[in-house]
Structure 1
Amino acid sequence: MLRRINGTAAILVAIAATIGVLIYPIWTYEDRSGTGVANLNASTVNTKWGPLSALDRDFLVKVRLAGLWELPAGRQAMERAPTQAIRDAGDHLIVGHADLDRRVRDIAGKLGVELPNEPTEQQKGWLREMDEAQGEEYQRKFANLLRMAHGKVFGVIGQVRHNTRNTLVRDMADAANVTVLDHITMLENTGMVDFETIAAEEADANTVSPSGPPPPDGGPIASPVPVEPPPGLNVTSLPSAAPQTTAPGDDPGDGSAGNNGQGDGQAGGAGDEPAPGAGAPAGAAP
């Protein structure tokens, strides 16, 4: 009797193992219901410019919303103009978001994405905060509210540019990337951006432990090997980043190096050559 029970149990175990082997490939298939790929496909529609995902559509809406509150903020800055740097930042906001809005309305029309016609309640609240502020408080609210908003959308642009399979959305992300970085730069040129608060807020929002090299301990470190083209390779393109104005190893506080971009008013002052994006954002259509 005991042998019969053991034999039956062995048969049942073998049957269960066989069923498990057959079911496992189906269960682990990445496109099954509830997986990221399945969710992506469920929210994606096909267009002649490529698949259009929910993230793509959300990005187009965010670009439109940004213009709906940041363009009025820029106009207010130019009207109140407490400093030339604030006025310059306002000028860039107006020109940049007018261009992005033209682009996003055209792209959304082609892709069939409905866009809002007024800012969110939070964005309206930011505009009210600036309306009610005076003097230096106004300058700080203008610089920090807008810098924080631009910083957050900057991350969204990178995610969309990396993930999108739609050529129109990819073009929109390219234009937004250039314009938003220009606006971030102009806002920081006001000297009113509170980087400590920005870093603290982002740290509170991010619970993942940072990775990377350990903190410096004051001891000697090995010199990194330069990244250079292989010998004999005939490269002809130029770096897309602007050349350094401060040589490596110079003390930026001694005023002797990199002075061309600091003491001669090239940070966006009146009468100087405009920073990239002034008048028309880099990459903007003629």
Structure 2
Amino acid sequence: MFAVDSPPRWRRRLSGAALVAVALILFDPQLAHAEPGIPDPPNGLLTDRGKGEISDADRDFAVKVRLAGLWEIPAGKMAQEKSDDPRVQSIGRDIANQHVALDGLVRDAAKKLDVALPDKPNADQQGWLAEMRDAEGEDFDRVYIDRLRAAHGKIFPAIATIRASTRNDTVRKLAQRTNQFVMTHMTLLESSGIVDFAALPTAPPPGSASGGSTSTAQLQTASSRTSLAGTPVLALVMVALASAAVTVFICRHFIQDSRQSYRRRRSRY
């Protein structure tokens, strides 16, 4: 019986690394995609021509978006200067910079729709800024995080109402973009680990909110479409198929290398 040469060492290592990667993907599908099954809204599909009736609620929404930037930008600057926590400093910097971008969007929309915007924060917002100026160290961190998280929580449902009901395409696109900013800011604030969730307002009882409540059957249907940790079944199936293909590819290379080495060995005799 003739000896069969082993595959080169580099190929063995590469194949081993591929198998490890496949195993990791199977045990943690999020490694294959940052947020499996969670789509990003295609904002480019929305028009922005100022077309459609604009309501008083639409105008009020634009004003509120402008007001948010007028106090959260200076609040973020204070977070960078007054906080001793690097995480809070980073959160303040990110939120302030993002509000600069959002402020540009709302000013462009207001100009297109002829909506008058304020130039300074309202009385409540000025009071929150004064509270931050008077606080230091951990007290500042608590005030900054809790005030911003509470404010984002209040405007969050208002954005959804405008996005779902507005007749104006520019307001619709602004609401969709604003929603993405607000969700990002809430996540950043909560990443500080110091949000006082117990102090946040509670949701209304089922059936009392406008629009009705979600039925048990709907919840069961939605939950049946997901698997481990909320990962969609389709995503898991695709990952499993990909891992199988990689495994077959690797095995074929092992067999092919072994056969070629065997033939070369025989030809020497």
Interval containing the TM-score (normalised by the shorter chain): 0.5 to 0.7
Tell me how far apart the structure 1 counterparts of residues 80 and 100 of structure 2 sit (CA, whole Å): 15
Number of aligned residue pairs: 177
Partner in structure 1 of residue 224 of structure 2: 226
Partner in structure 2 of residue 202 of structure 1: 202
Instruction: Tell me the secondary structure at the aligned position of residue 193 of structure 2.
Output: coil
Partner in structure 2 of residue 108 of structure 1: 110
When the two structures are superposed, what TM-score results if normalisation uses the length of structure 2?
0.59
- Large movers: runs of 4+ above 4 Å: 203-207, 209-214, 222-225
Tell me how far apart the structure 2 counterparts of residues 208 and 54 of structure 1 sit (CA, whole Å): 25
Give the alignment of 1:119-130 within 5 angstroms: 119-130=121-132
For residues 34-64 of structure 1, the C-alpha deviation after alignment (integer angstroms, 9 at most, x for no partner) is xxxxxxxxxxxxx951110111100000000
Higher helix share: 2
Partner in structure 2 of residue 65 of structure 1: 67
RMSD value, Cα? 3.0
Q: Say whether the 8 Å CA contact 2:71–2:126 is kept in structure 1.
A: yes
Task: For 2:142, give the aligned amino acid.
Answer: R
> Which of the residues 53, 64, 67 maps onto 1:51?
53
Unaligned runs of 5+ in 1: 1-46, 215-221, 229-243, 250-286
Q: Say whether the 8 Å CA contact 2:83–2:136 is kept in structure 1.
A: no
When the two structures are superposed, what TM-score results if normalisation uses the length of structure 1?
0.56
Task: For 2:150, give the aligned amino acid.
Answer: M
Tell whether 2:179 aligns with 1:181.
Answer: no
Instruction: Tell me the secondary structure at the aligned position of residue 138 of structure 2.
Output: helix
Give the alignment of 1:12-91 within 5 angstroms: 49-91=51-93
Q: Say whether the 8 Å CA contact 2:83–2:140 is kept in structure 1.
A: no
Greater RCO, 1 or 2 (C-alpha within 8 Å, sep 6+): 2
Partner in structure 1 of residue 142 of structure 2: 140
Tell me how far apart the structure 2 counterparts of residues 118 and 146 of structure 1 sit (CA, whole Å): 17
Partner in structure 2 of residue 262 of structure 1: none
Tell me how far apart the structure 2 counterparts of residues 120 and 110 of structure 1 sit (CA, whole Å): 24
Identity between Structure 1 and Structure 2 (%): 41
Tell me how far apart the structure 2 counterparts of residues 104 and 62 of structure 1 sit (CA, whole Å): 10
